[in-house]
Structure 1
Amino acid sequence: MILSGRGVTAVLGPTNTGKTHYAIERMVAHETGIIGLPLRLLAREVYTRLVEKVGQHNVALVTGEEKITPHMARFSVCTVEAMPRETRAAFVAIDEVQLAGDLERGHIFTDRVLHLRGRDETLLLGAATMKPILEQLLPGIHVIERPRLSQLFYSGSKKITRLPQRTAIVAFSADEVYAIAELIRRQRGGAAVVLGALSPRTRNAQVALYQEGDVEYLVATDAIGMGLNLDVDHVAFAQDRKFDGYQFRNLNPAELAQIAGRAGRHLRDGTFGVTGRVDPFDDELVKRIETHQFDPVKVLQWRTTRFDYSSLQSLRQSLDAPPPIGGLTRALPAVDQQALEHLSRYPDVRDLATTPERVEKLWEACALPDYRRITPAQHADLISTLYADLVKRGTVNEDFLADQVRRADRTDGEIDTLSARIAQIRTWTYVSNRPGWLADPTHWQEKTREIEDRLSDALHERLTKRFVDRRTSVLMKRLRENAMLEAEISVNGDVFVEGHHVGQLAGFRFTLASGTEGPDAKAVQAAAQKALALEFEARAARLHASGNADLALGSDGTVRWLGDPVARLAASDHVMRPRVILLADEQLTGNARDHVAARVERFVNHHIATVLKPLDDLSRAEDLQGLAKGLAFQLVESLGVLFRRDVADDVKALDQDARASMRKHGIRFGAYHIFMPALLKPAPAELITLLWALKNDGLDKPGYGDLIPVLAAGRTSVVTDPAFERAFYKLAGFRFLGKRAVRIDILERLADLIRPLLQWKPGTPRPEGAYDGRRFMATTAMLSILGATPDDMEEILKGLGYRADAVKAEEVAAFLAAQAPAEAAAETPAEAGAEASDEHDADASETESEAPAEKPEAPATETAEAPAAEAPAETEAAAATEGEPAEVKPVLLWRPGSRHDNQRQGGQRQGDRQGQGERRGGERHRNQPAGERGERREGGRGGRPDQAKGRDGKPQGGNRPDRGERNERGGKPQQAKFEARPPRKEKPIDPDSPFAKLAALKEQMKK
C-alpha cells in the first residue's frame, strides 16, 4: 500500500542549496531519527558530522558492508539500500530522491519514498525535477524549493594543462581518469583520484588530499556529483558519455548540472566547462545548466515488494508484477533478479529451493552485491556456493571463507591489483554483516574490515605515489599560505626547499628537478637562490684555496672541481694557452667570480705545463737561435711531431751546435720524423689531441671520442679506421700507413733494421733480410716490432715510400746460394761489423734504446710467415713430401722509391755527400773535417735509402741511403736481436762530442 503525502516535506533544488545540512539540523531536533543517503561515502561524511554534534554513542552507521551500532543509539545514518522498510523513528529523511528514476537502483529509492515514514516528520531531498512526480504520487506533500546559494557560469573550453587550480576534472572510465591524473602530475604537480570502484576509505583519503590543499586538482567520475562537499571552483568535463550498465549514452542536462553544481560552495560562485576532446556545450545547454531548467522526471522505477516465496517459479512471477498506479514503471532486472534467473536453471539449486523458507533464503542470497564487476554467470556461481552452505550447514563454510579472505589479504601489487582485492574483500565484508550467515560473525566482521582498511590504505598510497608529486604539493600549499620558503643545500649539492628536493647544484650551476614547472617554479627558484647566493661565495672561497689534486681536466675540455664541472676550454690564438670559460650561474659575481676564474686558469696552465713539459719548455727556450728557434716554433705549433720531409731544408741548414741545443730539449731527429719521444706517452698524447681539437673544432670530429683512448693506451701499432680523422693519429704519435698506424718511435726502429740491409756489400757476411745491397726482404724482426702481418708490412713499407719487386723464389734461392762462398771468404766479420756500425746515426740508436719495454703486438702467424726467400727450396721440398702441389708465392724485394719520405730534400744532397766517403766503393774521404762528416750523417737521413752510381763513381741525384744518427754517447746503434752483430774493432767517434773537431784535426795530421 502506498502511503499518502501528508506529513511529508520535499526540499527540492539544485546543488549547493544546503538541503543535506537542513536535514541534519532537523533530525537532531527530534528524539530519534534516520537518514538514507545514496553512497556509503556520503553516509560516512554525514555520520561524522552527527557524531560531532551529538556524540559517538548516539549515532549508528548502517551500510551493506559496515555496521556501527552503539547501544541505545538515537540516530541512524544508512545507505538507502540498508534503510529498514518500517521504522518507529520520529524523523526520516531520504537524500537524492531523483535517483528513483535510475535504471539500476531506482526501484530501491522509489520503495523508500512510497513506504517509509517518520512518526513526526519526513523529508525528501532532491532535485527540483522531482516536484511534479512527487505531487502526483504523494497527494498532500508539502514542497519547498530552495535556490542555489551561488551562481554557476560557463567558461568554455580549456586545455587540461591550462585549467585553473581547485578544478575537478570529470571522466567516466578508470583508464581515462588515470591518464588525465598522470598528465596533471607531470604538468601541475599532482591530482587526487575519486572513482566509484574505490573503497570508501580510499575515496575519503583521496578527497582529504584535495581538501587539505596537498593537490590542486581532482580527477573523478560522476561519483562526486552525489552530495560530496568539495572545495571546487571549476568543473571541467573531459567526457560527456558514460556506460549506464546497459549502453553508452550522452549525459542529459540534469546529470551534467548535478556534476557541474559541485563548483562553488555556499556563497562562492563556480564555473564549469569542457576540456580534452569534448566539444564545447551549445548555448541552449549552457543556459539550462546555469538557470537549472530541466525536464521533469515523468516516471519512477518500481519493483514489487510483495514476493511470493511458495516456489521458485512463483517468486520469478511476482517479480514481473506491473506497477499498481500511474507514474511508475517496472524496473529492468537488477543484479539480484539476474542472479535469480541464472540460479533457477541450476538443478542443484532447484533441488534445494523446495520450501518457502529456502526460496526466501535464496532471494536473500541473491541480494549479494556484485562488487567484483564480473559476469552474471560467475556471480551466480558464488551465490550458489553460499546458498548451498546456508541450506545444508545453516551457515557459510568458514574454511571456504577463510581461504577466500586469505587470498585477498596481500598489499603488494599495483593499483588495478589492489582494486580487485578490495572488491573481493568487500564481498566477504558484506557476507559477514548478513544476520545469521556466519557462526562467528563478529570475528569475520573485524577481520574483513581490517583487511579492507589495510588494502584501502595501500591503494591510497599507490594512487598518491603515482599521481601526486609530494614535493610540489607541499610547496603549493606553502605558497597559498604566503609563507617564506626555507631552503638548504646538502653536502652533495642537493637543494631542498621546505624539506623537498627541488634541484641539484653542480659546481656553480643550479638545475631545477624535473617536474618543477608551472606557477610554483618561480617561487621555488627564488627560495633556492637565496640559499645559493651564500653557497656560491663559500664554494668560490674553497675552490680558490684548493689544491691541484681537487681539479681535473677531462678529454671533453671540461674542468671539474671535486667531480663537478666548473669551466670548459675554448680555442685561443696560442694552441698551448686555451681560453677558460666558467660554467657558472649569474649569481656568481664580483670577487667570487674573479677568484674562481683565476684559480681555474692557474690550474689549466699548470696542468699543460706539467703534462707537456718538454713542449712547454721548448716554447719558452731562450738558448735556441736562428734556424733552431724557427724549427722549435714549428714543432710547438704542430704539437711535437713534424714530418722530416716537410722541414728537410731547415734540418739540412742546422749546424752541429744547433742540433745539440735542440737535443737538449728532448728533440729527436729521426729518419722519418722530427719528434719528442716524451710526448708519445698516453697522458701527453691525450692532452695534445684535446688542444688540437679545441683549436680546430675537432671535439665532434670522427674518432676523437673512440680513437684517442686506444691510441693513448701504449700500443705500438693499431688497425686504422678510414672514417676517423687522420690528424688524431699523428697527434697521438702514430703514422697512418695503410691498414695500420704505427707509433713514430717504432718506425725509427724499423729504419734501424732496414738501414744495414741496404748497406750490405756482397761478399761479406749477409744479415738476415739483405739481398744485394740495394734491396731487402721483410724479416721476422720487422714484423715483430710492428705487430703486423706480412700483408700489413706491405702496406706499411709502401706508405713509407718503398717499392716492391716481385721475384721468383727460385731466383732468390739461386742468388743467395751464389753469395754463400763470397761470404765465407770475407776478410773478418769484425771489420764488416765495424764498418756497418759506423754507418749508424746517433739518433737511431736512441730510438731503439728508448723504445717502450712492453712487447709489441705481433700476429700469431709471424713465425710461420717468415719471408719465403730464406728457404724457398725447403718450402718446396716440404710441400712435395706432403704430396700436394706447392704454389710458391713470389718474394717481395723492397727498394727505395720515388715517393720515399726522405726523397724531397733537393739541394741538401750535394752537401750531404761532403764529409762522407763513397761507401758502396769501399773508399773513405779521410781528408774531410770531422764537423762536415757529422753534418753529412745528420743530413743523410733525409736522402733516399739508395742511389745508383754514375760514371764518375759518385751517387747520382742525392745522398746515400738513410744512415740514421749515431748515439750521442758514442755507442753504435743497437741491432735487432734477430740479426747478426759482428764485433767491431774500434769505437766510432760521436759526431756530437765536444772532442769531435779535435779528432778531425788529428786525422788530418796523420795524413
Structure 2
Amino acid sequence: MFSANPDTHVKAVLGPTNTGKTHLAIERMCGHSSGMMGFPLRLLAREVYDRVRAIKDDNAVALITGEERIEPKDARYFCCTVEAMDRLGGGKAFVALDEAQIGADPERGHIFTDRLLNARGREETMLLGSSTLAPMVDALVPGAEKIERPRFSTLSHAGSCKLSRLPPRSAVVAFSTEQVYAMAEMLRRFRGGAAVVMGALSPETRNKQVELFQSGEVDYIVATDAIGMGLNLDLHHVAFAALTKFDGRRKRRLTPSEMAQIAGRAGRHQRDGTFGTVSGMRGANGAPPEFTEEEIYAIEEHRFQPLTHLYWREPEPRFDSLGTLIADLEASPDRPELRAAPEAIDLAVLKRLAEEPLATQIKGAGKVRRFWEACSLPDFRQIGADQHARFVARLWQDLQGGYLGADFVAARIAELDRVQGDIDTLQGRIAAIRSWAYICQRPDWVLARDEMAARAIAVEARLSDALHARLTERFVNRRTTILMKSLGQDASALPVKLEEDGRLTVDDEPIGRLEGFRFAVDPDATVADRKMLLAAGEKALPGILTQRADWLLGEGLGELELADGTIRWKGSRLATVEMPEDFREGRITLARELTMLPEGPRTRLEAGLKTWLAAKLEPLEPLRKLAAAARDPEAGSEARALIHTLIDGHGVVSREKAGLEHLPKELRPYLRKLGVVFGALDIFAHALLKPAPRQLLHALGIDHRPLQEAMLPVIPETPRLPAGYRPAGKQAIRVDLAEKILRAAFESRAKAGGERNARFRLDTALGISIGLEEENLVRLVGSAGFRLQRAPALDEKAFGPPAPDRWIWQPRRKDTGRNDGHRDGHRKSGKNQPQHSRGKGGPRSKSRDKQRGPRKPKPVDTGPARSGGAFDALADLLK
C-alpha cells in the first residue's frame, strides 16, 4: 500500500531550530546539477527561491506553489511547497524535504510522510527535521545517514514579564485573533507598536509585516504559532501570552516540542535567546500561563519525546469510481510506524459531495480523477467542510463544459479587486483571491490560464499591500517607536527636522509644530505620548530655534508686524513693546518661549528686533517733538500744559478741552513751529493725522479708538469715532478737513464785511466734493456758530433765478477761547475780523432784541440751544 525509493544517498539532518539545516541543504543543492526542495510554507519557498536565484541565474530557478508558478524553460532548481513538489523527486540530482517531522500533523502529515518515503534525488537526498523524527527515520528509511546538528546558541527561560516591560526585539505569541489584536494594541500604547503575523494573512502580507520588524521600524512582533515555522527573525526573546490552543478539534496545551519550535525563534546564529510568559494574562482555567519545570528543561536541553508514528494516506488511489476512491483514501497502512490520517478537509468534501445528486454523473476514471482534484482545492477561507463543499460543487458545475471561460474568471477576480474595508474584510478577500489563484494554476481548468493567473496574483498583491497598511495603521505608532529609540541619544543626535510649514518631524513623523518660536505638541498625540513628544522637541529646540532666529534676522524681518503692543511673526508673539514718555526708543520684553534660545542667538535676536522697531517708529517723530517740548522749560507752563493735553489726545484735542484761555498769545508761534494747528473747533498736530502714525499708535496699543487704515476724508457716523475725526451730523469728517471748511466760512464772512450780523454766501463745493452731505455740512458749520438762512421761494408769477441762501455768524454765547483762537488762526482776514470784547461780543440784551424786532427769514436751526458755552451744538452731537 505504500512504496519507498531506495534509501541510498539519503541523509537525515536532525536538530532543534537555529542549527543551520536549511542553509546546509541550499548549499548542497547548489553544488549539484539540479535539485528540488519541498517546504511547508509558501513564504519559506519564496525566501529560498530568492536566495538560490542570487546564487544561480534567474532562468535556472523555479518557484512552484499551489497559487503561484514561476517556471523558466531552462529551470534546473525547483523551490516548492510540499504539496506542489514531485512526489518522486522529478529525477533531480538533489532532493530535500524540510520540516519532515510535520508527518505527524493530522491535517497535512500524510503528504510529508509520502515525500519522506518516496521523494529521492539521483545523487543525494536530505531529510531535514527535528530530533524527534529520528525513530521514524530508522524505521522507515533504514539506510539513511543521520546527522545531528547542535543549536548555534543557547535558549534559556527568563520567567514572566509585563507586556509594558518586554525587552526590545521580542515576540509575543498568542493563539487567537482576538488575543493577537489585544496584545498588538497594548504594545502600540506602551512601545509604539508591533508587527502582526498570523496564519490567516497572505504570504505577501506576512512578509511585509516581518520586514517591518526586521528593518527595526518596530521592536516587537505579535504572532500565532505560525511564527514557529519558516520565519527567520532577529529575535532576542519570545513571550507566550497563552500555552493552550484550539487545534480544530479541542482546546489543548501545547506539547513541549511545539513550545520549543516557537521559543526556538529567539536567538539566531551565535546570539543567545530567551523565552518566558506574559504576566497578567489568564488561561482557560483562570490561572496565568506558566511553564512547568519539565517543560523548561525539555526546551532548554532540546530533549523531547520522540515520534512514535507518522500519518499516512494512499498517495495513488484508484479512480474506478467514487466509492473506490473513498475506500482507498480511507485505507489503513500495513506498517506499525504509520497510522491512517484523520479525515482531512479534501476527503470530507469528497464524501459530502458523493452523496449529492451531482455524483451520479461522475463516472469513468478521468472524470473521477478530475472531481477529486476539484475536491482537493484548499480551504483558504477556513470556512469548514460544509461551506467549502458548496464552493467546490459550484466550481464542478462550472467545469462541466471543460474549461472556465476567461471572461467568467476575470469577472470573479475583478469582484475581489477592491482595497477598501477593514482588516477582516481584506483578509476575507485575500482568502477568496487565493482560491482563484489556485484555480488558475490548474493546467486544465481555465482558458488563458497564464493571463488569469497573473491577474489573480496581481490582485492578491494589491490586497496584501492594503492589509499591511491597515495593520500598520492600527497597530504601529511609528512616531512613538522612533522616539523611544532616539530619546536616549544626545540632543545633537536626535533626528528632529523642521519642515517648511513649521512642523517638527522625526524621520518624517510629526511630533509637533513651531508656532513662531513656541513648540506645540502634535494635537493628535495621546496623553501617554505627549510627555515623550515634549521631551523630544525640547531636546532639539535650541539648535532649531537658533536656525530660525538667524533666518528671521537675515531674511524674515519683512514678515514681522506690530499689533496690540507686541511684535508678532505669523501670528505668534515674539516680544512686548512698551513706549516711554518721550516716544523714542521702545523697550521690548522677549516672549517666554524665546528663553529656549541659547544666550548668544537670543541677544542677537533682541538687538535685531530693537533695530527693526526703531525704523518702524519713525512716523512718530512729530509726537517725539511734542514730548521733547513738554519737557522744555523755555516753553512755559501754559504751553507745556497744552502739549501734554495734545499728547494725551494722541495729537488731537477739542478747543473746549484745550484750556486756551490760559495760553498767552505770544506762545502760539512756538507751538505752530511744532506743527500744532489752532482750528476753529480743534487743536491738532497735522502730521499725526496721516495714516502711518495713526496706524502705529493703534498697533502700539496706545490709541484704543477704532482705526481708519486710510484716514478717509469722510466716514459714516459710528458710536465710537476713530482717532482724528469729529462728528458732522450723520457723518464724521477728518478734523483737518473740517478746519478747511470752517476757514472758508470765516473768509466768506470777512469778505462780506465781517460785521456781526452780516449775511453772506458760502460756497459748499469743498465739503460736497470730499463726500460730506449738505445736511451734515450745515451741522458741521453750525457747530462753529454759523446759521443758515434759507432764501424765500419765488412767487409763482416771478421770473428769474431764485435768490441764494445766506449765512450769518451768530454764536450762541461768547467764548473767548474760541474766538481769540480763530482770529489768531485766520489773521489774513484783516481788520474785518469780529471784535471779541465783552461789550460787543456778548449776548444781546432783551431791549436790543425788541428794537430789532423779529428777523425774516428765520435762521435754520442747526441744533438745540444750550447754556453751557459757544459749542452747545457740538456738545449735543458728541452725546
Mapped to 2, the partners of 1:127 and 1:922 lie a distance apart of: 137
User: What are the ranges of 5 or more consecutive residues in structure 2 without an aligned counterpart?
Assistant: 283-287, 739-773, 781-803, 823-836, 850-863
Say whether residues 1:430 and 2:433 are aligned partners: no
Residue 559 of structure 1 and its aligned partner are, at CA, apart by 3.0
Work out which of the residue numbers 570, 576, 588 in structure 2 matches 1:569. 576
Aligned to 1:335: 345
3-state SS of paired residue (2:561): strand
Cα distance, 1:267–1:615 mapped onto 2, change above 3 Å: same
Residue 179 of structure 1 and its aligned partner are, at CA, apart by 8.2
Residue 38 of structure 1 and its aligned partner are, at CA, apart by 0.9
Aligned to 1:224: 227
Q: How does 1:500-515 map to 2 (within 5 A)?
A: none
Aligned to 1:270: 273
Work out which of the residue numbers 808, 821, 835 in structure 1 matches 2:810. 835
Say whether residues 1:37 and 2:39 are aligned partners: yes
Aligned to 2:100: 97
Mapped to 1, the partners of 2:501 and 2:576 lie a distance apart of: 25
3-state SS of paired residue (1:64): coil
Moved more, 629-638 or 599-608: 629-638
Mapped to 2, the partners of 1:68 and 1:212 lie a distance apart of: 27
The one-letter code matched in structure 1 to 2:155 is L
3-state SS of paired residue (2:63): strand
Residue 62 of structure 1 and its aligned partner are, at CA, apart by 2.6
Cα RMSD, aligned residues only: 6.6
Work out which of the residue numbers 46, 60, 63 in structure 2 matches 1:61. 63
The one-letter code matched in structure 2 to 1:231 is D
Q: Deviations over 1:461-489 (max 9, x none)?
A: 88789959699989999x99xx9999999
Contact 2:675 2:687 survives alignment (8 Å)? no
Cα distance, 1:523–1:447 mapped onto 2, change above 3 Å: same
3-state SS of paired residue (2:370): helix
Cα distance, 1:272–1:475 mapped onto 2, change above 3 Å: closer
Q: How does 1:172-183 map to 2 (within 5 A)?
A: none
Cα distance, 1:358–1:365 mapped onto 2, change above 3 Å: same
Residue 434 of structure 1 and its aligned partner are, at CA, apart by 1.9
Cα distance, 1:222–1:615 mapped onto 2, change above 3 Å: farther
Work out which of the residue numbers 260, 264, 279 in structure 2 matches 1:261. 264
Cα distance, 1:123–1:568 mapped onto 2, change above 3 Å: same
Residue 222 of structure 1 and its aligned partner are, at CA, apart by 3.6
Cα distance, 1:241–1:573 mapped onto 2, change above 3 Å: farther
Cα distance, 1:156–1:945 mapped onto 2, change above 3 Å: farther
Q: Deviations over 1:827-857 (max 9, x none)?
A: xx9999643566689989x99xxxxxxxxxx
Aligned to 1:963: 872
Aligned to 2:610: 601
Residue 362 of structure 1 and its aligned partner are, at CA, apart by 1.8
Mapped to 2, the partners of 1:160 and 1:914 lie a distance apart of: 104
Q: Deviations over 1:302-352 (max 9, x none)?
A: 5555756555566556656667676777655543244335544654x2343
Say whether residues 1:629 and 2:640 are aligned partners: yes
Mapped to 2, the partners of 1:72 and 1:282 lie a distance apart of: 53
Mapped to 1, the partners of 2:279 and 2:678 lie a distance apart of: 75
Q: How does 1:297-316 map to 2 (within 5 A)?
A: 305=315, 307=317, 309=319, 311-312=321-322
Contact 1:241 1:251 survives alignment (8 Å)? yes
The one-letter code matched in structure 1 to 2:403 is T
Q: How does 1:314-393 map to 2 (within 5 A)?
A: 333-340=343-350, 343-344=353-354, 346-347=356-357, 349-373=358-382, 379-390=388-399, 392-393=400-401
Q: How does 1:462-501 map to 2 (within 5 A)?
A: none
Contact 1:167 1:232 survives alignment (8 Å)? yes
Mapped to 2, the partners of 1:245 and 1:709 lie a distance apart of: 80
Mapped to 1, the partners of 2:642 and 2:301 lie a distance apart of: 95
Mapped to 1, the partners of 2:250 and 2:680 lie a distance apart of: 91
Cα distance, 1:339–1:538 mapped onto 2, change above 3 Å: same
TM-score (norm 1): 0.58
Contact 1:191 1:216 survives alignment (8 Å)? yes
Contact 1:508 1:585 survives alignment (8 Å)? no
Mapped to 2, the partners of 1:629 and 1:53 lie a distance apart of: 99
Aligned to 1:542: 554
Residue 39 of structure 1 and its aligned partner are, at CA, apart by 0.4
Residue 416 of structure 1 and its aligned partner are, at CA, apart by 6.8
Contact 1:185 1:191 survives alignment (8 Å)? yes
The one-letter code matched in structure 2 to 1:568 is A
User: What are the ranges of 5 or more consecutive residues in structure 1 without an aligned counterpart?
Assistant: 696-703, 720-728, 736-741, 750-779, 787-828, 848-911, 925-943, 948-958, 967-972, 977-1007
Residue 406 of structure 1 and its aligned partner are, at CA, apart by 4.0
Residue 268 of structure 1 and its aligned partner are, at CA, apart by 1.1
Mapped to 1, the partners of 2:342 and 2:686 lie a distance apart of: 97
Contact 1:170 1:237 survives alignment (8 Å)? yes
Residue 404 of structure 1 and its aligned partner are, at CA, apart by 2.3
Cα distance, 1:830–1:430 mapped onto 2, change above 3 Å: closer
Aligned to 1:16: 18
Residue 173 of structure 1 and its aligned partner are, at CA, apart by 6.4
Aligned to 2:749: none
Aligned to 1:867: none
Residue 79 of structure 1 and its aligned partner are, at CA, apart by 1.3
Contact 1:733 1:743 survives alignment (8 Å)? no
Contact 1:475 1:498 survives alignment (8 Å)? no
Contact 1:507 1:584 survives alignment (8 Å)? no
Contact 1:572 1:578 survives alignment (8 Å)? yes
Q: Deviations over 1:593-647 (max 9, x none)?
A: 545423312332443452x6665554333476436535654775686799999x8
Say whether residues 1:395 and 2:398 are aligned partners: no
The one-letter code matched in structure 1 to 2:154 is Q
Cα distance, 1:488–1:445 mapped onto 2, change above 3 Å: closer
Cα distance, 1:11–1:922 mapped onto 2, change above 3 Å: farther
3-state SS of paired residue (1:431): helix
Work out which of the residue numbers 561, 585, 588 in structure 2 matches 1:552. 561
Mapped to 2, the partners of 1:327 and 1:498 lie a distance apart of: 58
Mapped to 2, the partners of 1:27 and 1:617 lie a distance apart of: 98
Mapped to 2, the partners of 1:841 and 1:241 lie a distance apart of: 108
Contact 2:707 2:722 survives alignment (8 Å)? no
Residue 261 of structure 1 and its aligned partner are, at CA, apart by 1.8
Cα distance, 1:142–1:381 mapped onto 2, change above 3 Å: same
Mapped to 2, the partners of 1:97 and 1:383 lie a distance apart of: 30
Cα distance, 1:489–1:71 mapped onto 2, change above 3 Å: closer
Aligned to 1:80: 82
Mapped to 1, the partners of 2:260 and 2:176 lie a distance apart of: 19
Mapped to 1, the partners of 2:202 and 2:274 lie a distance apart of: 29
Percent identity, please.
40
- Give the number of equivalent residue pairs: 767
3-state SS of paired residue (2:83): helix
Mapped to 2, the partners of 1:290 and 1:676 lie a distance apart of: 96
Residue 165 of structure 1 and its aligned partner are, at CA, apart by 4.8
Cα distance, 1:387–1:475 mapped onto 2, change above 3 Å: same
3-state SS of paired residue (2:266): coil
Q: How does 1:463-862 map to 2 (within 5 A)?
A: 539=551, 542=554, 549=558, 551-555=560-564, 557-560=566-569, 563=570, 567-569=574-576, 577-581=586-590, 584=594, 590=600, 594-608=603-617, 610=619, 616-622=624-630, 625-626=636-637, 629-630=640-641, 632-633=643-644, 636=647, 691-692=700-701, 834-836=809-811
Aligned to 1:955: none
